[in-house]
Structure 1
């Protein structure tokens, strides 16, 4: 896995995610994260973890971003931010994930506005992410807040053209999260296909 992480990191993504949820087939339990190129930030993905667990993992792996993928409340996020500021001062990001389907109400994100750095909209499914399916992006036109968001959920090469169109809208899209469509097996990425995706997406 270390070699695969290093190969993906060479593509210079803005962020590289590591899942710290034991029930996930992509669970990362390595003693350390390999040295990443400058500018590649480490995202720790947590599902209903305690604040102590998050802080301990954040410090152990020198993470840059905390991605909350469970049922965390606004009170939890406020407390987490308080401890992060006390312990690490600044230089970190907190993202809150929302599972989206055709009936999703974006007003459910309102409590987290100005409490997190970004939202992540993923396809609603049985698993906490990695469901391999996109949601209907038309629903994003109902998003009215200024908090930037990461678009996630089964994104692969076949979504490139629609993705390019979406990126030209006024939506505050912060980043694109890709995962399962580029996997050889859980946690292992097909680097050549991922490179092709990045090259095509960035080509005008």
Structure 2
């Protein structure tokens, strides 16, 4: 869909990564969190500069984040834990000389207090809404997207949480809602992961290829 980016997250196997790269997603996510089966501890194979390498962190120390950015030449970082606005502000200051994007994740179920976003407005580039579940991402279930119609911010966001081919029509409806209300750029990107996996960290390229054609 026009003006909608795609992020493929939870990449792990180098050969699988190289195959997924051919689909030219806008973002590719690597999870640097040891408590997930998608934990990435390899070398990232060569990736075209048009694809933004995104490091996913959960309550990690700033020094570790900076080390991973340097090691893997990351283009974006996704903070998937309980990181405070002050933490994000410090990180943003340290990264001031680099064109690196900061994405802050918020977990959602049936409702959400959007007032929580206010203190993050000036210190992150995007918000990401994921499903609140047992795991820090990759739960394979969607949340109630209707609450996003109450989204008060002007900051673009990523939509995540159990998104697969079955959700395409609902994504179209949500995108159309924002377009009709003069806010077509708020729904910035779709973030997919577990619905396209053969096993944790290994994506079904054929299934992804069909999904990518929709974009």
CA displacement at 1:90 relative to structure 2: 2.5
The 5-angstrom pairing of residues 117-136 of structure 1 reads 117-136=125-144
Give the match for residue 63 of structure 1. Answer: 74
Q: Distance in 1 between matches of 2:98 and 2:176?
A: 31
Give the count of matched residue pairs. 197
TM-score of the two chains, using structure 2 as the length reference: 0.89
More relative contact order, 1 or 2 (CA 8 Å, 6+ apart): 2
Give the match for residue 108 of structure 1. Answer: 116
Q: Is the 8 A contact 2:131 2:161 kept in 1?
A: yes
The 5-angstrom pairing of residues 85-164 of structure 1 reads 85=96, 89-164=97-172
Partner secondary structure for residue 161 of structure 1: helix
Is there any run of 5+ residues in structure 1 with no aligned partner, and where?
none
CA displacement at 1:115 relative to structure 2: 1.1
Give the match for residue 207 of structure 2. Answer: 193
RMSD between aligned residues? 0.9
Q: Is the 8 A contact 1:10 1:37 kept in 2?
A: no
Pair 1:21-2:29 in alignment: no
TM-score of the two chains, using structure 1 as the length reference: 0.94
Partner secondary structure for residue 150 of structure 1: strand
CA displacement at 1:128 relative to structure 2: 0.4
Q: Distance in 1 between matches of 2:159 and 2:106?
A: 10
CA displacement at 1:176 relative to structure 2: 0.3
Deviation by residue 1:38-85 (Cα, 9 ceiling, x = unmatched): 301100000000000000001000000010000000110111111112
CA displacement at 1:168 relative to structure 2: 1.9
CA displacement at 1:111 relative to structure 2: 0.9
Give the match for residue 168 of structure 1. Answer: 176
Partner secondary structure for residue 184 of structure 1: strand
